[in-house]
Structure 1
Amino acid sequence: MKFGLLGTGPWADRTHGPALAAHPDVELVGVWGRRPEPTGALATRLETTPYADVDALFADCDAVAVALPPDVQAPLAVRAAEAGCHLLLDKPVATTPEGAHRVTEAVRRRGVGCVVFFTLHFSAATGDWLREQARQDGWQVGRADWLSPVFGGGDSPYSASPWRREKGALWDVGPHALSVLLPLLGPVETVTAAPGGTGDTVHLVLRHASGASSSCVLSHSVTPAAADVTAEVRGTPGVAALPVRDEAPDVSFGRAVDALLTSVRTGEEHLCGARFAEEVTSLLHAAQEQLPAS
C-alpha cells in the first residue's frame, strides 16, 4: 500500500516514519509538512520524497499516516478521505466533537479504512491484555492513571510541543486512559472532571451505562521519579492489572499499519476506528468544559 506521511515533528521522526519505511507491505511515497526545511530533512532521512502540496501527496497515495496536532490533523484527514485515502491517525483525532464527527462522516461517506493509533491497543503485552479482559464479563470498577514528566523536569522531546502545552495531559494521555476503560466497562453516561494540585494534573470520574464506574488521574507535571502508567479492572473475574508496555513505539505503530491493511482488505471496522476516536473526543471535551479556563 502506498503511504504518505503528514508531519515532521518528533513523533513522525521517531515513530511513524521509521515504522512505515521498514514495513514490508508499505511503500512510503513521500512526506508533507507545514515547513519546507524539516520536510526535506525528514524525507532525506527516510529516503523518500518531500511534497510541498498536500493534495498532490494524496493523489499519489492509497493511505496517509498523520503525525500532526489534533486540530491540524482533523481537517487534513477529511481532505485525505475525500481524495480516497485510507487513514492512519493519531489520538486525539480532534479536540472538538464537531471536528471528530467530520472525520467519522468522511470515513463513512467515502468508505475508506481508518485506524487511530491508541498505543496500548497495538503494543504486544498491553494489546493482548486488553483483548483478554474484553472477553470476560462482570467488570464493575476500573481505573487508568497516566503520569508523565513531560512538563515535570523529564528529558522529553515533547516538552516543547505547543499543542501539548495548551491542552495538557487531559488531551494527550487522556485518550490512552479512556482506550483502556471504554472497551472493558462500556460506554460512558457521565464524566466528572476536577483539576489536580500540580500543573496540568486532572482527575476524572466516569459512570458507565453498564453500571460500572471508573476513574483516571492524568498529568504531565509529575517528577521523573513519580512517573508511571497503571490501570486495573475489578469485578466478577477478580482483579486484572495492565502489564508493563515494554516495546518501542515504532514497533507498536507497525501493528497499527497491519490493522489498517487488514481493515481495508476485509472491510471490517477496527475497534480503534473513527467512531471510537469520536467517542473519546466527546468525553474529553465534556471533561474540559468542567475545568477552569487556563
Structure 2
Amino acid sequence: MRIGLLGTGPWAQMAHAPALSRHGELDFVGVWGRRAAPTKELADSYGVRAYDDVDMLLADVDAVAVALPPAVQADLAVRAARAGRHLLLDKPLAPTVEQARAVAEAVEEAGVASVVFFTTRFQPEAEAWITEQAAVGGWFTGRAEWLGAVFSGDGSPFATPWRREKGALWDVGPHALSVLLPILGDAKRVTAAAPGPGDTVHLVLDHAGGASSTLTLSLTAPPAAEGAAAELRGSAGVTRLPESTESAVSALIRAADALLAASRTGRPHACDAAFGLRVTEILATAEALLDGEA
C-alpha cells in the first residue's frame, strides 16, 4: 500500500514518519505539510518526496496518515476519502460533531477503510485486557485517569495551539473513552462534568451495559503525578489496565496493520471513523455541560 503523510509536527516526527518507514507492507511515498521548510526537512530525512500540493500527494497514494490539528485533519480526511484514499487518522477525529460526521459519512460513501489511532487500543497488553474484560461483563463501575503534564513543564513540543484551546477533555479524553466504551458499552449520557485545576475536567458517564464510570482528565498535572490508569469493579472483582512497554511507533505500526486488514477484507475496524464520531459526540456533550449550555 502506497501511503503519504499529512503533517510535519512533533507527532509526525516522533511517531508517524518512523512507523510508516519501518512498516514492511507500506510504501512511504511522501510528506505534505502546511509549511515548506519543515515538509522538505522531514521528507529528506526519510528519502521521500516533499509535496507542496496535497492533491498531488493524494494522486500518488492509496492511503494517507494524518498528523495534524483536529480541524485541519477533518477537512483533509473528507477530501482524501472522496478521492478514494484509505485513512489512518489521529484522535480526536474532529473538534466538532458536524466535522466528525462529515468524515464518517465521506468514509462510508467512498467505501474506504479508516482507523483512528487511539494509542492505548493498539498496545497488545491493553488490547488483550480490553477484549478479556468485555467478555467477562457484569461490571458495576469503572474509572479512568489520564493525567498529562504538557502545560506544567517548560517547552513541551505538545503544548500546541489546539491543545491550549481544547484542553485535556479533547486531547486525552479520547484515550480514556477508547478504553471504557468497548468494555462498559456506549455512553447513554454524560451525567456530570466539572472543572478542576488548570484544564482538568471530571466526567461521570452512564453506560449501556448498566455500569457508571468516572473520568479525570488533565494536561496540567504536576510532572510527578502524570500517568494513565483505568480500573473496573464488578461481580468478577477488581481489575486494572496493565501498563504497556510498547512505544508509540510500535503501536502505530499495529494501527497500520489494522488499516491494511480493513482495506483488504472490507470489514470496519473497531476504531474506525464511526467510532471516532461517537467519541466526538460524547466529548461535545461534556464540553456543553462544562460551558453551561446543556
Pairwise TM-score range, normalised by the shorter structure: over 0.9
1:156 deviates by 3.0
Return the letter of the residue paired with 1:179. S
Q: How many residues align?
A: 292
| 1:218 match | 217
Q: Aligned to 1:30, what secondary structure does the other structure show?
A: strand
Report the alpha carbon displacement of residue 245 of structure 1 after superposing the two structures with TM: 2.2
The alpha-carbon deviation at position 193 of structure 1 amounts to 4.2
Aligned to 2:266: 267
Counterpart residue identity of residue 108, structure 1:
E
Identity of aligned residues (%): 57
Q: Residues 41-84 of structure 1: CA distance to partner in whole angstroms, max 9, x if unpaired? A: 00011210000110111110000000000111001000000001
1:251 corresponds to 2:250: yes
Cα separation, 2, equivalents of 1:197 and 1:280? 21
1:101 match:
101
Query: What SS is found at the alignment partner of 1:232?
Result: strand
Q: Aligned equivalents of 2:75 and 2:256: distance in 1? A: 21
Over residues 199-235 of structure 1, what are the superposed CA-to-partner deviations in whole Å (9 max), with x where a residue is unaligned? 0000000011222100100001111111121101111
Instruction: Give secondary structure in 1 for the equivalent of 2:290.
Output: coil
Q: For residues 187 and 124 of structure 1, what CA distance do their matches in structure 2 show? A: 23
Distance 1:267 1:194 in 2: 38
| 1:191/1:205 contact within 8 Å kept | yes
- Structure 1 counterpart SS, 2:47: coil
Instruction: Supply the distance in 2 between the matched residues of 1:208 and 1:107 (Cα, whole angstroms).
Output: 27
Q: 1:31–1:49: 8 Å Cα contact kept in structure 2?
A: yes
Deviates most, 243-252 or 149-158: 149-158
Q: CA deviation at 1:192?
A: 3.4
Equivalent residue, structure 1, for 2:11: 11
Q: Which ranges of structure 1 fall in alignment gaps of 5 or more residues?
A: none
CA distance in 1, matches of 2:101, 2:4: 23
In structure 2, distance between residues paired with 1:12 and 1:141: 36
Amino acid in structure 2 at the alignment position of 1:200: D
Secondary structure of 2:146's partner?
strand
The residue aligned with 1:130 is: 130
d(CA) in 2 for partners of 1:68 and 1:114?
16
Question: In structure 2, how many angstroms separate the alpha carbons of the residues matched to 1:130 and 1:27?
Answer: 31
CA contact (8 A) 1:93 1:100 kept: yes
**2-structure distance, mates of 1:168, 1:141:** 26
CA contact (8 A) 1:146 1:217 kept: yes
CA distance in structure 2 between the partners assigned to 1:114 and 1:33 by the alignment = 21
Query: Is the aligned partner of 1:181 residue 2:197?
Result: no
What amino acid does structure 2 have at the position aligned with 1:51?
Y
Distance 2:5 2:192 in 1: 35
- Cross-structure match for 1:152: 152
Amino acid at match of 1:171: W
Deviation at 1:119, TM superposition (A): 0.6
Query: Which whole-Å CA distance do the structure 1 matches of 2:103 and 2:195 have between them?
Result: 32
Q: CA deviation at 1:40?
A: 0.4
The code of the aligned residue for 1:170 comes to L
Report SS of the residue matched to 2:239.
strand
- Residue of structure 2 equivalent to 1:69: 69
**Match for 1:87: what amino acid?**
L
1:130 to partner: Cα distance: 1.2
Distance 1:132 1:116 in 2: 22
User: Hey, what's the Cα distance between the residues in 1 that align with 2:268 and 2:236?
Assistant: 28
CA contact (8 A) 1:193 1:202 kept: no
> 5+ residue gaps in structure 2?
none
Displacement of 1:128 in angstroms is: 1.6
- TM-aligned CA distance change 1:283 to 1:8, over 3 Å: same
TM-aligned CA deviation for residue 240 of structure 1:
1.4
Task: Say if 1:154 and 1:223, in contact at 8 Å, map to a contact too.
Answer: no
Cα deviation, residue 85, structure 1: 0.3
The alignment partner of 1:80 has SS state of helix
CA distance in 2, matches of 1:254, 1:31: 17
